[in-house]
Amino acid sequence: MLGQNGYVACCDDSAGSGVEELAARRRLLKAAVLARPDRSGRAPAGDGAGPRSAAAGPPRVTAGTVVDASPHVLTICQADRTERLSLMPATSAWKGGPADPTALRTGDRVVVRLDPSRRGVADRIWANIGRVAGVIVERDRAGIVVDAGATRGRQVVIIPRRAEGRIQVRFPRLEPGYLIDIIGLRRGGVFEGLIPATSQPAYRADQVPWPSPVGSGPLSRLGGTATWHEPVGQPDDVEGIAYPMLDPDPGCGDQPSPYSGRVRMPYLCVGSRVDVRNDCTGESRLLLVTSCAAVARLFSDRCVTCGTSPRGRVADLALASFVTLGGELERGCFNATITIDR
């Protein structure tokens, strides 16, 4: 399904996910049916002072399409408005590799991490960055066709000659049936794979090893790798987490494999809340589960951004959430600990 995650047309996408409403409704019903009243016989008070809200604090990330780029000001168009961002000498950019912010062009799809200490100042900019993770379905001279799951469909990865060596080192088997996870540039609906996001698992996607026979700790707190994905059909600044272990029965059709993955994870649903902590920066955030991360279950890799994480992907974050938590998109992952909000 080439181009599914192509450029976000300027000011024409005001799609709301509806996940927040669904989550709120489910939490209300869950509380109604499970709440234990206090001694007076009344239901307990709400947890307004409970865990940090997913929307707490000023936004750390913004995203949109560049409509004007000057050496000092970047103007981007979002779903329903335009935003002007100041560029400082310290502002860095990525556009297929480290680049100067002046390399940004009109029409570039950018994700901007804002300077936390100064309002409206860009700290780091990623332009046209994309990621394709999934099972290789086909390979020919034109590129590699990857099945990225039911939600993201099939995507075509083109590996330019300059990146071939780098990718071949980490992904020696670019053959049907094997897994791939590549970060690159999206140019007008074409994805150019440039950076291997991990090392290729030695097993085929249909031969994923069974889960580890033991849990290394309580099930409500899991350590592993957090990766990122591009939101489908939504703006890039939408937050959320794709969770690898949704209850399969109510229609989580995004499951290319019957294997339950390498990590023993409890079942959750769309609308559940998960606290994700970046073990490298210490930042944490309470996020809503917005979708199924079936492909993430197939990987049993470790992240070595800071130390060596436990094996397995425990969270596939929306692009904006990954950046908000201090992740660098071109690195592909950070060591994470997730805590299930009960």
Partner 1 sequence: MTMHAITGVVIDIREVQAPVLAVMLLGACAAKLSRVLRAGSLDAALGPTALFPQAARRPTAIIVCACELALGAALLVTVPPAARDGTGALDGAAADGARIAATAFFLVAMCALIELRGRRPDVGCGCFGDLSTRPVGTRSIARSALLALAALASVGGPGLRLPAGGGGVLLLVIFCAEFLVIALLSPEAGAVLARLGRSEPCELRSVPAPRTLAALHRSSHWQRQASVVTSDVPTDLWRELCWRYVVYPGRLDGADADVVFAVQIKPRRPAIRSAVVLKEKPPTFPVETAAPETPAPETPAPETSPAETASREAGSRETASRETASREAGSSEPGSTETAGTSSTETASSDLPPGVAALNAMQKSNAL
Q: Binding residues for partner 1, per CB under 8 A?
A: 20-21, 23-37, 41-48, 50, 53-56, 172-173, 199, 202-204, 207, 209-210, 212-215, 219, 247-251, 264-272, 288, 301-302, 304, 308, 311, 340-342
What minimum distance in Å lies between the beta carbon of 160 and partner 1? 22
DSSP H or E segment with residue 193: strand 190-196
Instruction: Identify which of residues 25 and 118 has a Cβ nearer to partner 1 in the complex.
Output: 25
Instruction: Identify which of residues 58 and 250 has a Cβ nearer to partner 1 in the complex.
Output: 250
What minimum distance in Å lies between the beta carbon of 207 and partner 1? 5
Instruction: Identify which of residues 98 and 251 has a Cβ nearer to partner 1 in the complex.
Output: 251
What minimum distance in Å lies between the beta carbon of 342 and partner 1? 5
- What is the spatial distance between Cα 87 and Cα 74, in angstroms, rounded to a whole number? 7
What minimum distance in Å lies between the beta carbon of 341 and partner 1? 8
**Secondary structure in 3-state letters for 49-62:** CCCCCCCCCCCCEE
Instruction: Identify which of residues 155 and 200 has a Cβ nearer to partner 1 in the complex.
Output: 200
- What is the spatial distance between Cα 265 and Cα 41, in angstroms, rounded to a whole number? 35
In terms of Cβ atoms closer than 10 Å to its own Cβ (0-12, 13-18, 19+), residue 76 is buried
What minimum distance in Å lies between the beta carbon of 200 and partner 1? 9
Instruction: Identify which of residues 29 and 88 has a Cβ nearer to partner 1 in the complex.
Output: 29
- What is the spatial distance between Cα 140 and Cα 161, in angstroms, rounded to a whole number? 14
Fill in the amino acid letter for 71.
P
> Would you say 63 and 235 are in contact if contact means Cβ atoms under 8 Å apart?
yes
- What is the spatial distance between Cα 126 and Cα 109, in angstroms, rounded to a whole number? 8
